[in-house]
Amino acid sequence: MPNEIMITSDEEGVGTDVVRVGVLGTGAIAQRLHLPGYVDHPNAEVTAVCDVEEEKARAVADEFGAQDHFTDYRAMVESGTVDAVSVCLPNHMHEESVTAALDHDLYVLCEKPMATSVAEANRMIAAADESEGVLMIDQSERFAPVYQKAIDLIESGLIGDIQTIRARFSHSGPEGWAPRSTWFTDADASGGGAMVDIGIHNADLVLSLVGDVDEVMAYTDTLASDAEVEDTAVANLRLGNGGLGTFEVSWTTDPEKIETQVVGTEGVLTVDKVAGTIAVDLSDERGRVEEIPLPEYRSPIARFVDAVVAGEDPPVTGEEGRDALELVMAIYRAADRREPVAVPLEGGGE
């Protein structure tokens, strides 16, 4: 890992790598997951936060013990007080803030969706390539123990060659998550509706479980609100291995439904993420496997710090974040044009 991490000493005098972290945007995800995640990590220290709302920045700095607060992200990344940043800003600000941080050779954990277009995502990857820093995208759902286990089981060949995947991701929408944040339904700030917001998770899960998607056909609609962006999307997928898939996303279910089923030549694997269960029905006399031990949960924030300290590649690369976004954008394009759309997108997703 190219950057030098500050070395401090703990009480016993043993050297410890401490990553000084700045959190950019102090809204819902920053307060609920990023800041507590860094505070809990023995190798991280929150030294700065930044929010355009100064009162909020100050209050969050006090609550999480950050020495500095900023209202301008450029001032934070230039300050010399942080080695790493979490980007927890509205989606349309990801490219400029991530690029600024990478230009200062910082380690960057950027929230999903990586950006609001594939072209932006490609520029972020180029900035990471030029930087001494590192870029990780927070495709957090794949780290749920049920999905970590499902990825391992499929890779092990337990259910044989993949024939189909059925992937569904839905909850009641952003109002319950961040009631004051109107940007989620403003297409200029968010890049879209339910598809960019949570379809990006569904896309990352499909790609992580069964590999590439070659082509999509899709519909999007706004079924349950008067928002200008879609709250529902359905798509059919042609997988890279020749298999097929169905893909459903919506902001219309309470409680949330996060369910994935993969059919292989040797069996059927079913994940219910909300229930925390995974089951495998094997197609021969081996029957059904229900008591599948799950790995311990390690959050993406902890994994980011672990990777920085160990000098390892980030657990979700910019390219993987871009690929999930490209699938989302292909679904939008297919729905708009009412025709099949190939992935990667023609024209590079401009």
Ligand X SMILES: NC(=O)c1ccc[n+]([C@@H]2O[C@H](COP(=O)([O-])OP(=O)(O)OC[C@H]3O[C@@H](n4cnc5c(N)ncnc54)[C@H](O)[C@@H]3O)[C@@H](O)[C@H]2O)c1
Which residue lies nearest ligand X, judged by its C-beta?
A: 27
Our measurement of the distance from residue 38's CA atom to the centroid of its chain's CA atoms, rounded to an integer in Å, reads: 17
Residue 86 binding ligand X, by CB under 6 A: no
Q: Cα Rg for the chain, rounded, in angstroms?
A: 21
Reduced 3-state DSSP string for 28-74:
HHHHHHHHHHHHHCCCEEEEEEECCCHHHHHHHHHHHCCCEEECCHH
- Asked if 249 contacts 274 with a C-beta cutoff of 8 angstroms, the reply is no
Query: What one-character DSSP code corresponds to residue 279?
Result: E
Residue 178 binding ligand X, by CB under 6 A: yes
Of the candidates 41, 69, 92, 112, which one interacts with ligand X according to CB under 6 A? 112
What is the closest distance, in whole angstroms, from the C-beta atom of residue 126 to ligand X in the complex? 20
Tell me, residue by residue from 121 to 150, as one string, x for binding to ligand X by CB under 6 A and - for no binding. -----------------x-x----------
Nearest CA among 297, 305, 298, 296 for reference residue 38: 305
Q: Which amino acid is at 237?
A: L
Residue 90 binding ligand X, by CB under 6 A: yes
- Could you give the CA distance from residue 101 to residue 205 in angstroms, rounded to a whole number? 28
Q: Which is nearer to ligand X, 91 or 131 (CB)?
A: 91
Of the candidates 22, 27, 315, 349, which one interacts with ligand X according to CB under 6 A? 27
Q: Which is nearer to ligand X, 83 or 204 (CB)?
A: 204
Residue 91 binding ligand X, by CB under 6 A: yes
Residue 204 binding ligand X, by CB under 6 A: no
Number of residues that bind ligand X (CB under 6 A): 24
- Could you give the CA distance from residue 69 to residue 54 in angstroms, rounded to a whole number? 8
Residue 202 binding ligand X, by CB under 6 A: no
**Candidates 20-28, 257-265, 314-322, 333-341; binding stretch for ligand X (CB under 6 A):** 20-28
Q: Do the bridges between strand 68-70 and strand 44-50 make them parallel or antiparallel, or are there none, so unpaired?
A: parallel
Nearest CA among 49, 138, 133 for reference residue 99: 133
Residues numbered 45-64 forming contacts with ligand X, rule: CB under 6 A: 50-53, 56
Q: Which parts of this chain interact with ligand X (CB under 6 A)?
A: 25-30, 50-53, 56, 73, 88-91, 93, 111-112, 138, 140, 177-178, 181
